[in-house]
Amino acid sequence: MSDDNTNNRSNEIDGTRGFAMDLGGTEVDDEESNQGLFDDLLSGEPIFENKEVLRPSYTPHELPHRSDQINKMATILVAALRGETPSNILIYGKTGTGKTASAKFVSKELESTSQKYSVPCDVEYINCEVTDTQYRVLAQLANKFIEKNEQRIDDRIDELESLLAAVDEYDRSQPPDSPPNSSEGESELFEFPIEDAEARPTEADTGSGDPTATSPAGSTDSSGDTNQTTDGDSAVEMGGLETGESPTRNEGDDRSTDDPTGTDASDSSERSDETDDADRFITTVDDESASSHEEHGAKFPPDHPLESTPFDSKSAVEARIESLEEDRESFEEVPMTGWPTDRVYSVFFDAVDYDERVVVIMLDEIDKLVEKSGDDTLYNLSRMNSELENSRVSIIGISNDLKFTDFLDPRVKSSLGEEEIVFPPYDANQLRDILQHRSEVAFKGGALSDDVIPLCAAFAAQEHGDARRALDLLRTAGELAERAQSETIVEEHVRQAQDKIELDRVVEVVRTLPTQSKLVLFSIILLEKNGVHSINTGEVFNIYKRLCEEIDADVLTQRRVTDLISELDMLGIVNAVVVSKGRYGRTKEISLSVPLEETEAVLLSDSRLSDIDDVQPFVQARFEN
């Protein structure tokens, strides 16, 4: 390596370390690089306050002009909050009529209300356009409920471990000689044990007329008799004070006597009766306390942590924790492929039935599931309740196709369509209300001119009252205005957004066409590029055969090509009109309905069609009227 090359390389390294590089003769230093592409874009004032509220995935807190449908769903699903099984619901309506948003709104309210009233209720949403087979639907549901079960087990274990900690803390706080609980025969209400009435002192033994005076245990009076005090009197006094009673005495009863032995027969008899009453009182209170504890299912003091629980010992709590941990370990996540369907269903069934709860399964685009996999999934789900022991299942089906139930088994149709709710299209005024409601949250103040929302509503009303289209139009208009660093969205931005959305829709439809349909469409494009107008089916078929030979594809019959042209017409990509040629018969005149150059670019992005060389169309003799 030469010295010049070494110096140049050294300069490159030094320049890189100093964040300055020579890019095409233009030196960019650190400060200039910081003021780059995104800094210029961020320099303008944003128009959006919260763009997410304009997306289809957003569920608003209020849905204008859908209160009737929402209330009907709520009256059906309220049964879940009573622990009953709600009726199955089928929801119909065209795209963008608020079906999914309304169902999600009601489901969200249902779950929040169930938590408020501590009623177990779970709602699961499945998009059947994505999850379109029985295996995937059951696997996804099984894994969701396994996850919920594991979470509930973890929460329950945490509660039980906290209970164990409270028991340990309680045990440490008790005196060493304190009885462990009331189930071993000690009285909770009294400090001293009950003794024989004969061992209790008499007033004469105390040597005083004061009924409250007592002599120390084992002391000797002047007569040489030994005075004995027991805890019985104290117990009686405490029992009477606790119950609000006081010892009673007769007015003629004189507690002082000249007899030093205190053996007056009447007094002894009265004291014996009082002692018997006290014994009966103590026993009654103790029995009531014990029965009260038994009623609550516990044998512990009132302040014991296990008093109000179903557990009778600390070991029972530990056994329950061990059982829950075993349950958690027994759950097995279902893989997305590889298991027999009956095994997947069994795992799903066990996961749902693990807890007592009401389950609402929401199947969006349910017609796609039936079209792809038949009605086996719906049959199994609608018949689950006859086998479940702890839980109950209800189904909400959402469909754009009003006639999809015609292909269902009569048994599935009868059980699935217990309740039906139809969502009509929005009109222009309703769409205007929806856009106004969303725009108040989505945009900053003063960002919309007065004619923007009415124009968006008018465009969307032409598309069969599609609120989703209206929201996309308003959001796209805002994005275009923001990119142009405009402070206000005006009518021109809405019209640009309309063209852009239409083009994006065409691009997506063309990109996902089957190869044979792409070949037919490419034939039409080649004919139009060569100046052929009012193209007929025979001309398209001739070019189509050449294209098939070019990429080595199978050639379909002309009748089948005619069917593909009809499908393209239905998608709005071409316009095919049947015209009469008199004695030459009837034919279709075909013209392109989408931008030619953009559509051709999408077709050529397909790897098979990109290899096609320029094919000059062979135009056969054409018959004009």
- 394, 359 contact by CB (below 8 A): yes
Residues in the chain predicted with pLDDT less than 50, given as ranges, are 1-2, 6, 8-29, 182-272, 274-298, 618-625
Contacts of 370 (CB under 8 A, 6+ apart): 378, 404, 407, 408
Q: Do 67-153+327-423 and 513-611 agree at the fold level? A: no
In this structure, are strands 21-23 and 121-127 parallel, antiparallel, or unpaired?
Answer: unpaired
pLDDT for res 614:
60
- 227, 220 contact by CB (below 8 A): yes
Contacts of 457 (CB under 8 A, 6+ apart): 428, 429, 431, 432, 435, 470
* Cα 120 to Cα 90: distance, rounded to the nearest angstrom: 23
- 547, 519 contact by CB (below 8 A): yes
pLDDT for res 430:
93
461 is in an annotated binding site: no
Phi, psi of 494, deg, nearest 5: -65, -40
133 is in an annotated binding site: no
* Cα 425 to Cα 462: distance, rounded to the nearest angstrom: 11
- Residue 417: burial class (beta carbons within 10 Å; 0-12, 13-18, 19+): middle
**Backbone conformation region of residue 552, classed left if phi is above 0, alpha if psi is from -120 to 50, else beta:** left
For the chain, what are the domain ranges? 3-42, 67-153+327-423, 428-507, 513-611
| CATH number belonging to the domain at 513-611, selected among 3.40.640.10, 3.20.20.70, 1.10.1520.10, 1.10.10.10 | 1.10.10.10
97 is in an annotated binding site: yes
Could you tell me which CATH number the domain at 428-507 has?
A: 1.10.8.60
Question: Which residue do the tokens 């969200």 mark?
Answer: 108
pLDDT for res 225:
45
pLDDT for res 35:
62
Contacts of 388 (CB under 8 A, 6+ apart): 349, 352, 353
In this structure, are strands 586-592 and 535-536 parallel, antiparallel, or unpaired?
Answer: antiparallel
99 is in an annotated binding site: yes
Question: Which residue do the tokens 């009082």 mark?
Answer: 274
263 is in an annotated binding site: no
Strands (E), 322-409: 358-364, 392-399
pLDDT for res 602:
87
26 is in an annotated binding site: no
- 202, 271 contact by CB (below 8 A): yes
pLDDT for res 407:
78
The domain defined by 67-153+327-423 carries CATH number 3.30.1490.100: no
417 is in an annotated binding site: no
* Cα 40 to Cα 35: distance, rounded to the nearest angstrom: 7
* Cα 188 to Cα 239: distance, rounded to the nearest angstrom: 12
